[in-house]
Structure 1
Amino acid sequence: MTATDADFAGGSSKADHLCVLVHGLWGNPTHMRNIAKSLREQYSNDDLYLLLAKQNSGSFTYDGIERGGERVCAEIEQQLRDIESSGGKIKKLSIVGYSLGGLIARYAVGLLDAKGILDTVECMNFTTFASPHLGVRTPLKGWHNHIWNVLGARTLSMSGRQLFMIDKFRDTDRPLLSVLADPKSIFLSGLRKFKRHTLYTNIVNDRSAVYYTTGIQKTDPFTKIDNVKVNFLKGYEGVILDPKNPVAPRPKIRGPASLSTVTAAAMTWAKRIPFMLTVAVFVPIGVVAFLMNSVIQTVRSSKRIKLHETGKGGLNIEDYRMSVWIKEMRDEVEQAYEALNNLQNQEYLATDDEDGDESLNAEDRSLLSRERRMSIPSQPTLALAPLQFEMVRNLDSVGWRKYPVWIQKVGHSHAAIIVRWEKKEFEEGFVVLGHFVKEEFLV
């Protein structure tokens, strides 16, 4: 970490509340600097101890959510020991995850619970910023959707397979994200122990993780934002929407097509150009760099995973490989990925009675049929996978406080929501961070 980061990290021996910040894919602790800075401006070293997790920096985030979670869990355990050895005592715990870091944090929480650590502290805040809780599988139908879901899943090593939900986690024969959201798992059990669960989700321009997954939603009223009236949260106008009443129908006014209308229509048409043709024309250099780097990083990640699994990666994995079930119930590369992901356009469940996918079993067909019946014209249900619908229900049972965020001054809202870099265009992110530390964070 830089000296600037060190100014915000740590705390005094008087601090009894530890807050852990977990960065995302391709990230490092400096990405969490402004979250740490905002917390530190509100709470002194005597009030709050900050840990910026660093063991998953850079390409280590390719190694899978469970390995990232094991590393973060180990960092937290070590930090607790270090604080106690220096005369302090942590009585409260909060965890903040950004992007993939939110999923890694959820895994770490399950391990902390299984190891009994959460029973020794008061679990305060669990917060995520732009974290893809439902994965990044594109809710689309058709061959272009299939190509992206297959391509994307295989260009980010193990983390990619888990984010696109094509993995089989251990002996469960299910994707890891599905297990993370299972009511019978240690992960949801641990998550429930926190007093407050908060998430911030970008409603537009998040090229890494779109609204439905970061907001744990089955619908997306913001796909045509010009057609709705946005209601802002009092005191945070222009950036944070009112979570209780985020949108209302906008009165229809008939008139000649405006330039913006024509432009929007043209953009919609452009997105319908066959997927691979669009990629080939508009992002060839980025795609080549992305794919070449993906091959390199996947090879490196595979080697690290082998070392990790044999206990040669600096961590005794036997300390973190307990049953996942509750006992009682048994930058260039990133831009290229975002460019590819951003070419997708959401689709919705069919309105007829047949789903059309012969691979679905009777239970999944019944679930999709039920979701179709619950869909309303103003907010049609997205074409999510059956597992994702189950994940929405299970995760919502925890009780999230969901804040939709509208970053308008810059097109890279995924980075702007936490002010990942010091850029004037990201200043709206400070409004989000200000709301988090003043309105949401329990001390």
Structure 2
Amino acid sequence: MTASKKVHLLVLIHGMWGNPTHLTEMFRIYNETIGPAADESRSGPDGEELHVIVPETNKDSATYDGIDWGGERVTEEIYEEVKKLAAEGKTVTRFSITGYSLGGLIGRYVVGILMQKDFFESVTPVNFSTVATPHLGQVLTKTFLSKTFAFFGPKLLSRTGKQLYAQDKWAGSGKPLLDNLADSGLVFYKALSSFQRVRFYANAINDVTVPYLTAAAATSDPFPGYSYSGLKIEINGKYAPIIESFTPPETPKPKPPGPRPFTKPWFRSLEPRLPPILQFKYPANLVIYVLLPVLVPVFFSMIMVRLSLEKRDSIARLKVLESDESYRERLVHVVGQLEKTIEDAAIDIMESPEPQSGSGSSQTLLHVGPASSSPPPEGSSKPTAPSPFLSPRQLQIAETLSRLPNLKKELAFIDQILNSHAVIVARDVQRFEHHRRGQGVLQHLADNFVM
């Protein structure tokens, strides 16, 4: 009888409004670098071959349905893939995840489900990587745009919006889902801690969608004013735009005065703030600026209509999902029941003079003891002045995540661009040439992948 071929399963998870095509370059580079058909194919310690999948069921407007429901869908696809491989005579023995944007949070939820289902009893967790993922949720600033998104986001992005802005109370815990994901006493954190390598890739600058603080789970930002402050940044020669190192100035330089309004230099300075489709040379760009007061309201009106319709569809889907009999098997229900059991037990303890002992199997499964007191990762330092844009709960999440035993943070420096969020994963190189600047990040991911 032929021995079963062993497989290292890598799951790539896209972000909000996303679909598998957004990770086409990531999929290609992983396979061409370490896949079975690669020129220098790598194998695991027991001869495992890489097998990469990009889940299909949680795409486009389905991403409105919540990090938790997205995680449940992805988990189902993982189990289906494991069964499919088994039918082909292949056994999954090693497991990794790379999540982009919202996909990183979904991935953190997925590994909690997998641990709760004893998946890792027979499968070794190896690499867990996130790219431009809002680990702290959405970071609020004092700008009008940030305040506008904070107002409309939870209202128009359905369950996911509430979770990203921490306006939900998950599983009866009374706490937002993001707090539960980072609770060192719950299965999500334990599962993440079990991976041999954990990597958070973050844009150091220009990520309007997922800024540095939340992508890197950091408490302070050394990069504001990088172009004039005297901050020294060294780019990795092999993996540009990955930052090799950076040195803050002893005394930051003040911001220089900008060009006079409505001069040619002033118009040129505005170009990086516009999307590529609206970047024209002078004087054609004047026409665009004149039309902006008309174009912007029309654009935002169209966006609002689309978001409203997709939110309505999401609410309808959630009603169906939560009425399904299988809902009782979902992790959100398991944790909710656990919270109620613990609460009832606490009341019994307070009302009874006799000491209570013992715990149920579910409690043992989901709680793993007090928060780790291990020091921050090597090379990091605790900031003396945390960012004023982070709430106390976000600071706590950042500090807890930074204590992950195998965590390393990698930063990308993508300048001269409006929004680096899509560029960091080379999301659409066919339409936008500048997205190729993110290929160095993807190559860094693949070359540092542990088989």
Shorter-chain TM-score tier:
0.7 to 0.9
Look up the match of 2:26.
35
Preserved CA contact (<8 Å) 1:375 1:381: no
**Equivalences for 1:371-382 in 2 at 5 Å?**
376=384, 381-382=387-388
Pick aligned residue for 2:427 from 398, 408, 420: 420
Secondary structure of 1:90's match?
strand
Q: Distance in 1 between matches of 2:296 and 2:230?
A: 32
User: Within 5 A, what are the aligned runs for 1:207-356?
Assistant: 207-226=208-227, 227-236=229-238, 238-242=240-244, 245-249=245-249, 257=257, 259=259, 283-311=296-324, 316-321=326-331, 323-324=334-335, 327-328=363-364, 330=367
Aligned residues: 368
**Change over 3 Å in CA distance of 1:414–1:253 after alignment to 2:** closer
Conservation of the 8 A alpha-carbon contact between 1:218 and 1:382: no
2:313 partner amino acid: R
Gaps of 5+ in 2: 37-47, 274-291, 339-361, 368-381
* Cα separation, partners in 2 of 1:73 and 1:238, compared to 1, 3 Å: closer
1:409·1:426 contact (CA, 8 Å) conserved in 2? no
Provide closer, same or farther for how the CA distance between residues 395 and 286 of structure 1 changes in structure 2, counting only shifts above 3 A: same
Q: Is the 8 A contact 1:229 1:250 kept in 2?
A: no
Alpha-carbon separation, structure 1, partners of 2:295 and 2:250: 34
Deviations 1:222-266 (A, max 9, x none): 121121423325434751113xx43321776799846499969x9
* Contact 1:230–1:241 under 8 Å retained in 2: no
- For the 8 Å contact 1:62–1:157, the answer to whether it is kept is yes
1:381 offset after TM fit, Å?
Answer: 2.6
CA distance in 2 between partners of 1:215 and 1:228 (Å): 22
Aligned to 1:362: none
Say yes or no: does 1:78 pair with 2:86.
no
Shift of 1:318: 2.9
Deviations 1:291-315 (CA, angstroms, capped at 9, x unpaired): 1111101110001111111228xxx
In the alignment, structure 1 segments of 5+ residues that lack a partner are: 1-12, 271-278, 331-373
Relative to the length of structure 1, the TM-score reads: 0.76
Q: Would the aligned equivalents of 2:239 and 2:444 in 1 still touch at CA under 8 Å?
A: no
Greater mean alpha carbon deviation, residues 147-156 or residues 288-297: 147-156
Cα distance in structure 1, aligned partners of 2:260 and 2:66: 42
Rounded Cα–Cα distance in structure 2 between residues aligned with 1:25 and 1:235:
32
Contact 1:239 1:428 in 2 (8 A): yes
Structure 2 residue identity aligned to 1:395: L
Matched, 1:402 2:409: yes
Find the aligned partners of 1:260 and 1:404 in 2 and give their Cα distance. 34
RMSD across aligned positions (CA): 2.9
Q: Secondary structure of the equivalent of 2:91? A: coil
Secondary structure at the counterpart of residue 231 of structure 1: strand
Aligned to 1:118: 120
Distance of 2:252 and 2:175 partners within structure 1 = 46
Seq. identity, %: 30
- Give the 3 Å change call, closer, same or farther, for CA 108–238 of structure 1 in structure 2: closer
**Contact (CA 8 Å) 2:219, 2:395: kept in 1 or not?**
yes
CA distance in 2, matches of 1:137, 1:172: 23
Q: Could you tell me how far 1:281 is from its partner in structure 2?
A: 7.7
Deviation at 1:82, TM superposition (A): 1.2
Q: 1:441 aligns with which of 421, 439, 449?
A: 449
Q: Which shifted more, 400-409 or 57-66?
A: 400-409
Are residues 1:55 and 2:69 paired?
Answer: no
SS in structure 1 at match of 2:58: coil
Measured in 2, the distance between the counterparts of 1:256 and 1:17 equals 52
State the 1:145 CA deviation.
5.5
Spell out, residue by residue over 1:104-151, the C-alpha distance to the aligned partner (whole angstroms, 9 max, x if none): 1110110000110022111110000100000014144x9875543122
Change (3 A) 1:317 1:410: same
Judging changes above 3 Å, is the alpha-carbon distance between structure 1 residues 235 and 92 closer, same or farther for their aligned structure 2 residues? same
CA distance in 2, matches of 1:27, 1:255: 37
CA contact (8 A) 1:107 1:180 kept: yes
Structure 1 counterpart of 2:327, one-letter code: I
TM-superposed deviation, 1:375: 5.4
Q: Distance in 1 between matches of 2:71 and 2:17?
A: 15
SS at match of 1:289: helix
- Alignment equivalent of 1:44, drawn from 7, 15, 35: 35
- Partner of 2:175, secondary structure, is coil
* Structure 1 residue 86: Cα displacement: 1.4
Partner SS state of residue 232, structure 1: strand
Amino acid at match of 2:396: E
Letter of the 2:363 counterpart: K
Shift of 1:162: 0.5
CA contact (8 A) 1:198 1:402 kept: yes
Map Cα deviations across residues 374-415 of structure 1 (whole Å, 9 max, x no partner).
754xx6533311111110111111142111111125433111
Larger Rg: 2
SS in 1 for 2:171: coil
How far did 1:420 drift?
0.7
- 3-state SS in 2 of match to 1:327: helix
TM-score (norm 2): 0.75
SS of corresponding position for 1:39: helix
1:69 to 61, 68, 71: 71
Q: Which amino acid aligns with 2:411?
A: P
Q: Secondary structure at the residue paired with 1:89? A: strand
After TM superposition, the structure 1 stretch with the greater mean CA deviation from structure 2, 92-101 or 131-140, is: 131-140
Given that 2:57 and 2:74 are in contact with CA atoms closer than 8 Å, whether structure 1 keeps it comes out as yes
Matched, 1:138 2:149: no
What amino acid does structure 1 have at the position aligned with 2:107? A
Aligned residue type for 1:67: W
> Alignment partner of 1:224: what SS?
coil
